[in-house]
């Protein structure tokens, strides 16, 4: 081996070592950035398991100047955890006086009654309808009517004079089509025969027209809003970041996204790291609100915007739109106003955001 070859090998080895050291240094800086952002210097009761219980107070998120100002430090519980205790109390009290939402809904389902000559036991009905849960991609539900005229889900031990079968006419995948409807009718007739029931089948063309009209509404109101946090400098270490986000209240889902619970078993908004599971760092986070699926009382957009601002302050990032342009407070205020108009339109159409109807249609 010549002196030149030996020199080249030595230079190459030095470069490889240098690259490895540089990458390790980058990973170390990314980890320290996140550790410092979520370190003990931040007074966040949600991240302190030893904090007294009465210190963990949930505040209604807002978009006022103090909340959104770049210089204003924010505690996560003040910014984006769902609602205050009073808001929950008001909402639950309002729900208590509302009529019970049933899984068969004449507004969004094609509902077909099956009338019995004599009352039929619930267990017999359940055995007959057990296999009919979907036609194509459209869910099918059943409710029964008792002798008193009350309607409810079918239960063992109950007795019913009429069975109502409903196939959902629209979902995000599209409207009910002729093939799905035909399958629904065929299976329903078999159930009617086995239960000695009389059914009144609606005209297919009328059902298809109604399904397309409802699909137009879904298409026009299928709104999903997102905000992003872009790193101003070095990327963030994922393992440290994910652990900190989970301490702040996010739940990690199987698809890798993190969900902020709404406090009532649902989702307020989600967060994506925008990288695959094999990556160790990220320089961009995306928060996403499924607008029609979150009730107005939860102020999903206000909570998401406050969360984004808090994370950008902590991590040394900038709140940006999908085009990587910074989002101003004025722009966020305008969007919040549009969201309120959106909610009003949904309520006027008798499909209030966050209701069972809305969650079924926008599934």
- Model confidence pTM above 0.75: no
The CATH homologous superfamily of the domain defined by 65-92+221-361:
ZipA, C-terminal FtsZ-binding domain (3.30.1400.10)
Q: What is the pLDDT of residue 254?
A: 82
Q: Does the fold of domain 109-219 match that of domain 65-92+221-361?
A: yes
Do residues 231 and 316 make contact, with C-beta atoms less than 8 angstroms apart?
Answer: yes
Residue ranges in 130-177 assigned as alpha helix (H): none
DSSP classification of residue 326: B
Q: With bands split at pLDDT 50, 70 and 90, how would you rate the model's confidence at 36?
A: low
* pLDDT band, residue 295 (cuts 50/70/90): very high
> How many other CB atoms are found less than 10 A from the CB of residue 157?
7
Q: What share of the chain is helix, strand, coil (3-state, %, to 5)?
A: 45, 20, 35
Q: Which two tokens stand for residue 198?
A: 């009389």
State mean pLDDT over 312-319. 94
Q: Read off φ and ψ for residue 86, nearest 5 degrees.
A: -65, -35
- CATH 3.30.1400.10 corresponds to the domain 109-219: yes
Residue 168, strand partner residues: 109
Read off the pLDDT of residues 49-67 as tens digits, 9 standing for 90 and up. 343 333 322 333 332 333 2
Rounded-to-integer distance, Cα 280 and Cα 284, Å? 13
Boundaries of every domain in the chain:
65-92+221-361, 109-219
Chain-centre distance of CA 185, in angstroms?
A: 33
- Gap between the Cα atoms of 155 and 57, Å rounded: 40
pLDDT in tens, 75-98: 333 333 333 334 434 444 444 334
Q: What is the DSSP letter of 81?
A: S
pLDDT at residue 38, rounded to an integer: 63
């Amino acid at each position: 081996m010549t002196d030149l070859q030996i020199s080249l090998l030595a230079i190459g080895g030095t470069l490889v070592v240098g690259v490895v050291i540089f990458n390790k240094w980058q990973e170390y800086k990314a980890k320290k950035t996140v550790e410092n952002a979520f370190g003990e210097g931040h007074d966040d009761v949600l991240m302190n398991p030893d904090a007294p219980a009465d210190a963990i107070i949930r505040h209604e998120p807002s978009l006022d100047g103090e909340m959104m100002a770049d210089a204003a430090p924010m505690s996560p519980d003040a910014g984006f955890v769902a609602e205050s205790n009073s808001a929950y109390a008001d909402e639950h009290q309002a729900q208590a006086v509302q009529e019970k939402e049933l899984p068969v809904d004449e507004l969004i389902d094609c509902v077909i009654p099956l009338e019995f000559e004599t009352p039929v036991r619930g267990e017999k009905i359940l055995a007959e309808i057990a296999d009919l849960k979907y036609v194509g991609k459209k869910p099918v539900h059943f409710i029964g009517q008792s002798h008193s005229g009350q309607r409810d889900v079918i239960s063992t031990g109950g007795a019913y004079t009429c069975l109502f079968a409903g196939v959902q006419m629209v979902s995000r995948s599209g409207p009910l089509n002729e093939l799905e409807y035909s399958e629904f009718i065929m299976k329903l007739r078999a159930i009617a025969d086995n239960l000695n029931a009389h059914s009144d089948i609606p005209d297919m063309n009328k059902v298809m027209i109604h399904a397309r009209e409802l699909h137009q509404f879904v298409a026009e109101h299928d709104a999903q809003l997102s905000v992003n946090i872009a790193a101003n400098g070095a990327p963030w270490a994922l393992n440290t970041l994910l652990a900190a986000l989970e301490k702040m209240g996010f739940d990690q889902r199987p698809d890798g996204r993190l969900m902020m619970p709404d406090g009532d078993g649902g989702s307020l908004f989600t967060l994506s790291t925008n990288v695959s599971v094999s990556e160790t760092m990220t320089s961009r986070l995306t928060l996403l609100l499924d607008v029609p699926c979150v009730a107005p009382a939860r102020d999903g957009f206000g909570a998401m915007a406050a969360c984004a601002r808090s994370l950008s302050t902590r991590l040394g990032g900038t709140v940006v739109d999908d085009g990587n342009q910074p989002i101003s407070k004025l722009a966020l205020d305008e969007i919040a106003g549009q969201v309120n108009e959106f909610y009003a339109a949904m309520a006027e159409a008798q499909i209030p955001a966050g209701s069972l109807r809305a969650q079924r249609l926008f599934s």
